[in-house]
Amino acid sequence: MIIILLEIIKQPSIYLLATKKLTSKHMNNRARSVVVGVFSVLAIFVVASVAFSAVTTFKGQGTFEVDSLKVGNQGTGGVTAFNGTIINNTTGANGSDQPVAFGDNVRIDGRVYRGSTAGTSDDKPFIINDNAEISGTLEVNGKTVTGTKRYEGTIDTGNDGDFISTYDYDTDCTTPDSGTWAKQSHAHFKKITVTEASMDAPINIRVFYKPYDDGNDYSPSIYPENNDVWVSAGYSLGEDAVYLIYKYVEESCNGTLTDSINTTGAYQVVVN
C-alpha cells in the first residue's frame, strides 16, 4: 500500500486516472465521494510522513507526551537540549518522592552543583545522600586525600592499657630522701584493630587524639577533621593493629603513682 501511495505521489496522473475510472460508471455519487476522500487522505498522510522525516527541527507549543523517547542511533548518538529542569512529577505510595532514575553510567562534562548559583557563595551545599566510593584522588580545600579510611572511638583513660611498656630509670632508691624520685615510667597503650596494619608491608597510618585543653598550643590538621583540633599521637604498629599511647604513669621510689594524661580519650586512626 505504501509503495502504491508513493508511486501516486511521484505520478499524480495515476491517482487521477484511478479515481476517474472508479467514479465513472461503477459507483453512485456517494460512493464516488468516499473513494476519492480515502485516496486523498492517504496521499496527504504519505506526503506528510515523507516531509516530516526530512525536518531537522520540530517546533510546537504545549506538552508532548510519549511513553518512550529514543534519541540518536548506535554509533551515532544524538543531542537532547533541556533548557530547564528535569523532574519526576509522579509519586510513590502515600505520596512519597519518586526520584529521576538514570539506569546506566552517567557522563557529565561540566561541573555539578546545587541551587541556582555555582560555587560556595550560597547556602545550598551539594549533598550525597549515601555512602560514596571514589576510584581516584579526592581534593578538599586544595589538599589531596587519596584512599583515606578512618577508625575512630574512645578510650577510658582511667583504666590500664591493653599493653603496658615499662621504662626503668637509673635511680638508686636506697639513697636517703629518694622517696619522691622517679623510679619507673609506664606507658599505657590502647589496642586498635586496623586491618590494613602490617609489620611486613607498612602503610601510611596517622593517629590522633583529642586534647584536654582548647588546642591553642596546637596546629589544626586536615586529618581527621579540617575544622577541628586533633593532636598527633604516639603509637606502635602491630599486625592488624595499632597501639596508641594514651597515658604515662610515673612511679616514684616510695611507690607513689602519678598519671600524665593529656587526652579526653577520643581517637582517630587515618589510613592512606
Residue-level length of the chain? 272
The amino acid at residue 23 is T
Asked whether the whole model's pTM tops 0.75, one would answer no
Q: Is the distance from CB of 194 to CB of 241 less than 8 angstroms? A: yes
Q: What confidence score (pLDDT) does residue 43 get? A: 52
Instruction: Report the C-alpha gap between 20 and 43 in whole angstroms.
Output: 16
Residue ranges in the chain whose pLDDT is less than 70: 1-56, 141-147, 201-202, 212-229
C-alpha cell at 70: 529514543
Instruction: Report the C-alpha gap between 47 and 6 in whole angstroms.
Output: 8
Distances (CA, A) of 101 to 86, 104, 107, 111: 11, 9, 14, 20
Write down the residue that cell numbers 561541573 correspond to: 111
Q: What confidence score (pLDDT) does residue 198 get? A: 81
Distances (CA, A) of 190 to 31, 177, 185, 209: 101, 35, 17, 12
Q: What confidence score (pLDDT) does residue 30 get? A: 53
Q: What confidence score (pLDDT) does residue 104 get? A: 92
Q: How does pLDDT run across 101-114, given as a tens digit for each residue?
A: 999 999 999 999 99
Q: How does pLDDT run across 213-269, given as a tens digit for each residue?
A: 544 444 444 444 444 567 788 888 888 899 999 899 999 999 999 988 878 888 888
Q: What confidence score (pLDDT) does residue 254 get? A: 93
